[in-house]
Structure formats: C-alpha cells, structure tokens
Amino acid sequence: MDRTADSGKSRGGGVCVMVNNRWCNNANVVTLACSCSPYLLLNISKTKELIVDCSKKQKRHYQSVRISGTTVKRVDSFRYLGVHISQDLSWSRHTNSLAKKASQHLHHLGHLRDFRLPSKVLRNFYTCTIESILTGNITVWFGNSTKQDRQALQRVVRSAERITQTELPDLQSINYKWCQTKARRIVKDPTHPNNRLFSLLRSGKCFCSLMTKTERLKRSFFPQAIRALNQGN
C-alpha cells in the first residue's frame, strides 16, 4: 500500500472481486474502500462494475451498485493490466486486440527487410515488438482461448515468418514453456500462496494432478502447469 500521508498520493488503480451476490452490495463496497487506507480516495468516475455469472439457469437481475449516491457504470468487459476480462470469461476480445496491435508492427518489419538487414536483426525486432505483444500474460488466457482465436494470432506469426524468412516459435510452445517456468518458480518458493497446489506423489517424480470438474478449469493455468511439469520430468 503506497497511499499514505507521506507519499502524497490519494488516487490509484486496482481491482476488487466480489465472489457472490450477497457480497455485491453498496455497504460492502463502501466498507472495502474505507478499510483499504484512510488516505485513499475512491474515484467513482473510473470505477466499473463487471458481473461474471457462469450459471446456466435463467438470467438473473442484479441491483446496480451505488457509491456516495452515484451509480457505478456496468460494463461487459474491462481492461486490467493489459488483459481484457469479459463477463463471459471468454478471450476473443483480448485476442482480437492483440492480433490487431501486433499486425501494425508487421509494416515496420517489412520496411526493415526492404533495407536488407540480416535475418538475425529482423528476428530480434520480431521478438521485442510483435512476439512480446502476442505473448503478454499468455499463461492467463491462452489455455481457454478458442481455436479461432489461436488461429488469428498464429496468422500474425506466419506473416512474420514470410517477412523474416526464418522459422519462429509458435504460441503453443511458448505458452508451454512459460507454464513450466512459472510453475518451477512457485514450487521453489514455499512462501507462495499457491505452493500447496504442487504436491508430489509418493514416487517423488511427478506432481499430483488437480481435480477439475469443468473444461474451463482444466485448461486454466495451474492444471496446465502441473501437466507441463510432469511431462518435463
């Protein structure tokens, strides 16, 4: 928390997740805002309400949240730390944004090729600009992205391959590598809050798989990370 009297800061960004309808009410929102810090001012104009309801039953109606008499704007998606979070927990909007942003840099990559720069330089430019965009927070969204979303992103990679005339790593292998890397960091850090999810079997060679009742959970980061570690052993 850096919103203190000495810091001189009174406004800041953040995210608040209310887990169910009982918690999603005006009293809890105001109480949370007051308990964070006495020096923190809640900017209502920048506050958004995003409802995630995975229930397959009849669509529910939720009361709008009001803070200090002002109704908080309800949105169907929200951009947080560069990731577009949708109310249906799909990643099409996020991947479309990545594909569009990365495609804009293909024009510059083509100009560098026209200047007859070495393939190594072209690949470095691709890695620093285009690949870094396509793989931003990839372990969060790639597992649950649709086939169409992945194909749209992979088309950008193939276009870059034609320009650089070199073979570039596909997004599937990059996601697999990052899952392994992040999982190993968590396993080595006993203070990590999710370290307990990585428990070894009696053999001591493989990790115990997580029980998943839904396909969305099965394709999320932690089950993926455990499978990546077991395949790497």
**DSSP annotation of 131:** I
What whole-number distance in Å separates Cα of residue 103 and Cα of residue 129?
A: 10
How crowded is residue 118: how many other Cβ atoms within 10 Å of its Cβ?
9
Distances (CA, A) of 127 to 114, 132, 158: 19, 6, 14
**DSSP annotation of 65:** P
pTM of the model: 0.81
Q: Indicate the average pLDDT of the chain.
A: 86
Q: Give me the helices (H) in 115-170, please.
A: 119-125, 132-134, 138-141, 147-164
Residue 81 above 80 pLDDT?
yes
Q: For the segment 56-78, what is each residue's pLDDT rounded down to a tens digit?
A: 776 777 888 777 778 888 899 98
Q: What is the mean pLDDT of residues 163-176?
A: 96
Q: Which SS3 state, helix, strand or coil, does residue 208 take?
A: coil
